[in-house]
Chain A
Amino acid sequence: MRLLLAIACLLIAMPLIQGEPSENSKQRAEERYPQVFRTFMPEAGPSAFAVQLSPNLGLCYDPLRGGVNQIWRGRVDLTPTNLAKINQVAMVPEAVFYEERLVQPLHLGAIDAPVERRFKGYRYEKDVVIFEYTINGHLISESLRMTSDGSSVERIFRLPKDGGEAFLPVEPQSKSKVSIEGGSEQSSGLWTFPAGGEIRMFIRPRDVIISHLPVKRRTSSPLAHSCS
C-alpha cells in the first residue's frame, strides 16, 4: 500500500501553479497596432498572415498567392488554430469588404512576364507594417496601414528601379471602392506604373462615406503631385 500512497502523493504534488503575472510584462506591445500573425488562414496558401491594422480592421496577407486576400471589419480569432491538435484555420470575421483572387497579380516588365516571387519578411514602423519580397530578384516593399478615420486601408508598393514597368490588374470589388494613384489605367482594371515609382492603393468600404482620404501623404514621393 505504500507504493499506492507514494504514487498518490506524487500526483498531489504535481505542480498546478503556472506562473503569476509579472508587473513589468504589461509593458508589452500588445496594444500597439498593426499586429501580424503568421498562421493557418482560410482560403490562403500555407502559412499566411493575419494582419490587424486596428482591433476592428484586419486583413489576410498571402505571401504565396501574392497580396491581400481579404480585408475585414473586426478581429481575426486565432483560438481554433492555437487550441486544436490537428490544426484549424483562423476565424475571419464575416464582415469582409475586399477580396483578391488572382495569383501573382503584380508583374514586372510585362503583364505576361513570369513571376518568381520570394518572401523576404516584414518590419514594423510607426502605425504601419511593411512586407518585403522580390519578384524575379527585384525587391519590392508593400506597406499596409489604416487610414486615420479607422475605416480604410492604405497600401503602398515601392517599386524597384531596375525591374521595368509594373503591371497590376485590379479586381472589381462590390463592397469597397478601390482608388489607385501612381500609375495609369491601360485598359479596364489593368494599371501600369513606372519603374522606381509607387503604387498607392486606397481601399474603402462602400458603406463608409467620406469626402477625402485622410492619409498623411509622403511628400517625398516622386509621383505625389502628378496623381493627386
Chain B
Amino acid sequence: MSATSSFIPYISLAFVFAVVPLCSGEDSGNSYEIEEIHLPQDMNPEISGVAFTPRGRLVVTNRHGDVWFTDHPSEGPWHRYAFGLHEPVGILAVSDREIYVTQRPELTRLLDTDGDGVADRYETVNDDWCMTDNWHEFTFGLHRDKKGNFLLAVGMPDMAGPFNSRYPRLPLSEVKVQKEQKPSLGSYQGWVLSISPEGKMIPVASGFRQPAGIGISPDDEVFVTDQQGDYIATSTLAHIKPGGFYGYPASLKWREDYRGPIPDIETLAAMRIPESVSLPHGALGGSPGEPIWDTTGGKFGPFEGQVFIGDFTKLISRVFLEKVAGEYQGAAFPFIRDAVGLEAIQANSGANNLTIPAGKEGLKYFRDTPPRSGTPLRPGNMRMVFAPDGSLYSGQTTRGWGKGDGLQRIVWSGRDPVEIEAIRLTKDGFDISFTTEMDAAKLAAEETWKLSRFRYLYLPGGSYRVDVTDCRITSIHPAADGRRVSLKIEALDPGYIYEFEPWELVSSTGKPVENPLAFYTLNRLLDGRRFEGPLTRALLKEKPSNSEINLTAGAQVYSAFCMICHQADGRGGALPGSEASAGSGVVSLAAANFRQRGPDSPLAKSDEDLVRIVTHGPEGKPMPPFGGVLSQEQIRNVIAYLRSAFGKSEPSPEQKSVK
C-alpha cells in the first residue's frame, strides 16, 4: 500500500464527516461524553497524576508540586493535601491519610498523621537512582503490584537542557552505549524499577527511552509505554520481564553484566524484547502515557478487560491484548480523538510539533478524526484512572510543550458505540469482533476490508514504516449474529503490523464505525513462529519518488490540507480565525493567492522552489511545513494541481470538482 492509495479513502471520509453538524446543541449521539472537571483557581491545572482512594476520594497531583483532593469531583470543594514536591508525575492513594508520589528525585510517602487533611510527613521511600536536574528527567509512576511493590520508571534526560553535576547522588557517566541521542547520565535512567514495601529498590528492566506510562494488569503483570524517537521506531506498549532489554541502548550501561559500548546494532537487535503492541506513530499519537485496564465491570461500556492509553496529543487509544504462543500481542485502536484540523496544522511547527505527531503517518491522525460534539478532548493525557462509578478521568499536562492542561472525565453514555471490539489472530488470518451488530452485506463485502501491513526497523535513527504492502484477503466469513467476521489472509507472517481500515462499514442500524482504524502487532503466529528476517533493513524497495504526477491525488491533497487557507478558488486571503485575532500583532494572516500573476507571484516560482516551500513552510509566514505530513510525491502532485487549476486564466474543470 503506498502512501497515496491509503490517503484517498481518508479524504473521502473527511467529507463524509464534514456534513455532520458538529456544533448542534441537540443530543450529540456521542457514545462517550467528555466532561470538564473544574479546578480551583489557586490550583495549577497541569494535572500530572490522578488516583482514587479505596473509599472513592479523588486525589490529583500537578506539575508544580501540589497534591489536592476532593470528595465531589463535579462540584468540589478541593483541598490541598501537600505541596512543594518536585515535578511529581505519578500518584497512588492508599487512604485519605497515606498517599505516595513519584517526584523527580524520589518515591515519597505523604502522611497526614494528625488527620487534619494536610500531609505533615514527607517520607523518602526510595531514591536509589540518579538525577541531574535536567529538564527532561522525570520519574514516572505509580502503581503497586499485589505484593505491595511499587513500580516506577525513570526517563532519560535531554541534551537540549543543562545538567547539574554538583554534589551528585551517584557517580555520573557520560559514556554512550551506541549512538543514542539521550544519554543515561545517572544510574537507572531508562529503567523500570521496583521498590519493595520496605523501600528496597530492585532494577527490573532496561532499554527505555521515555517510559512515561507504567501500568499493572489485573493479572499483576507490568506493562510500560515508551515513546517514539531514535531506536524506538514507534511508541510501544511492552510487557515487562525482569532482566529484559527493550531497545534504547543508553541504559544498558547500568546493567551488572555490561562490559562496554556495543557498536553493532545487530547485537542490540538480538537482545531487544519486542513490544507487545506497537502504537503506530502519527496514527496513534506520538507520546503515550499511562496504560490502564478497564476493570469497571461494564460501567465504561463494552471494553471490559482492555487497556486504555492516553497520549500527549488529543488522543486516547485502546488496546486489546491476547496471549499468542505464550506472549502478549494484540490490536490497538483509536478510542477518542479530537478533531484537530486547522488548529493542529497551524501548530505543527517547531516546539509544538507534538500537537500533531511528526512523520508521514501523522497524515491519517488528523484526517480521519471521527466527528464529536460537546467538550473536545484536550492534549496532554498522560495520566488516567477509572473512577469508582466507571468513568475515566484523564489528567492532562503539556508541560509547556503545547496548550491545554486540566482534568477531564469521560463518561459512557450507555449507548453501544459502533466499534471494532477486538481483533484476534487465527491460524490463517484474523477474527474481528464488533461491539454491536453490523450491516450484514457490508460485513461480507470485499470492498469493506482494506488491509495492509508494514513493519518498523530497529535503527539508531528510528524508522518510518517499511515493507508496506496491501494484503490479499482470500475469504470473508461473517458470523450469523453480525458481530464477528473471520478474514483469511494470503500472507500471514510474523514481524508485521497489520493495518485494518474498514471502508464505509456500518452497523445494522446504519451507523458508521466510529474509529475505522486498527493495528494488529503480529509478533508470533499461533504456532509460535517469529520473524526471522533482518530488523535493521527493509526487505522491499521503496517506491521511486519521481513517479508520475497524479492530478486527482493532487486535488485531494489540496482540498484536505491547503483549501482551508488558500480557498477553493485558490485566491487565499484572510486565514480562518484571523478576524478574531486581529490586532494581535501577527505579521501576515493571509494565505497566498495562486491566481496572482507577475514575476513575484507564487506560481512564478520553479517547481523545485515550490516543493521546498511546501516541505519546509514559507519563511516567516504562518503556513506550516508539510514535509512531515505529506510525501514528496504528494507535494509534487499538489503543486501540479496548483498549476493546472489556478495557473491558467479560467478556473479549470478539476478545480470545480473540488468542494
* A interface with B by C-beta (< 8 Å): 1-4, 6-15, 17-25, 27-30, 35-40, 43-47, 49, 62, 64-65, 78, 82-87, 103, 118-125
Chain B contacts for A121, CB-based, 8 A: 108-109, 121-124
Measured CA separation A18–B38 after assembly (Å): 6
Q: Which residue of the partner chain B has the closest CB to A124?
A: B120
B118 touches A47 (CB 8 A): no
Do the beta carbons of B76 and A37 come within 8 Å of each other?
Answer: no
Nearest 10 A/B pairs, CB to CB:
A45-B167, A24-B77, A9-B23, A47-B105, A3-B18, A19-B39, A85-B400, A37-B84, A38-B86, A64-B167
Residues of B within 8 A of A19 (CB): 38-41, 43, 45, 406
| A45 close to B23 (CB less than 8 A) | no
CB pair B86 A86 closer than 8 Å: no
- Of B126-134, B217-225, B281-289, the one contacting chain A is B126-134
A13 to B339, CA, bound (A): 11
Contact-residue bracket for chain B: 35 or more
* A35 x B84 contact (CB < 8 A): yes
Q: A3-B15, A24-B76, A25-B78 are in contact. Are A86 and B160 (CB under 8 A)?
A: yes
Q: How many angstroms from the CA of A49 to the CA of B124 in the assembled complex?
A: 14
Given contacts A19-B40, A38-B86, A121-B108, contact A86 B164 (CB under 8 A): no
Residues B86 and A25 in contact, CB atoms below 8 Å apart: no
Whether the pair A46, B351 counts as a contact (CB closer than 8 A) is: no
Q: Which residue of A has the minimal Cβ distance to B37?
A: A19
Given contacts A3-B14, A25-B77, A84-B400, contact A46 B123 (CB under 8 A): no
Knowing A8-B576, A27-B79 are in contact, say whether A21-B40 is a contact too (CB < 8 A).
yes
A contact residues around B17 at 8 Å (CB): 3, 6
Can you name 29 A-B residue pairings with CB atoms under 8 Å?
A: A3-B659, A6-B371, A7-B576, A8-B576, A11-B577, A14-B376, A15-B375, A18-B38, A18-B41, A20-B38, A23-B77, A24-B79, A27-B79, A28-B79, A29-B83, A36-B84, A37-B65, A37-B83, A46-B168, A47-B104, A62-B167, A82-B64, A85-B399, A86-B161, A118-B127, A120-B123, A120-B124, A121-B123, A123-B122
Query: In the bound complex, do residue A13 and residue B376 qualify as a contact, i.e. CB atoms below 8 Å apart?
Result: yes
Q: Determine whether the beta carbon of A18 is less than 8 Å from that of B105.
A: no
Q: A9 to chain B: closest CB distance in Å?
A: 4
Q: Does B36 contact A (CB under 8 A)?
A: yes
Are A8 and B577 neighbours in the complex by a CB distance under 8 Å?
Answer: yes
CA distance A65 to B659 in the complex (A): 67
Q: Given contacts A11-B343, A19-B39, A25-B78, is CB(A46)–CB(B132) below 8 Å?
A: yes
Please report the C-alpha to C-alpha distance between residue A120 and residue B200 in the assembled complex, in whole angstroms. 13
A interface, over-half SS: mixed
A175 to chain B minimum Cβ distance, whole angstroms, is: 23
Asked if B118 contacts A10 (CB within 8 A), the reply is: no
**Do A11 and B342 touch across chains, with their CB atoms under 8 A apart?**
yes
Give the residue name and chain of the B residue nearest to A125 (CB).
B120
Given known contacts A10-B341, A11-B342, A38-B103, A2 and B18 CB-to-CB distance under 8 angstroms = yes
A28 contact from B15, B20, B80, B375, Cβ within 8 A? B80
B24-63 contacts to A, CB under 8 A, are 36, 38-45, 63
- Determine if B168 and A64 form an interchain contact, defined as CB atoms under 8 angstroms apart: yes
Q: Are A122's CB and B122's CB within 8 A? A: yes
Complex contact B105–A46 (CB within 8 A): yes
CB closest chain-B residue, reference A133: B124
- Nearest B residue to A2 by beta-carbon distance? B18
Contact yes or no, B84 A38, CB < 8 A: yes
Task: Assess whether A2 is in contact with B19, with CB atoms less than 8 Å apart.
Answer: yes
Are B80 and A25 interface neighbours, CB within 8 A?
yes
- Is there an interface contact between B341 and A47, defined as CB atoms closer than 8 Å? no
Q: Is B80 touching A29 in the complex (CB atoms < 8 A)?
A: yes
Given A10-B22, A46-B133, A121-B108, do A25 and B76 touch, yes or no (CB 8 Å)?
yes
B77 touches A46 (CB 8 A): no
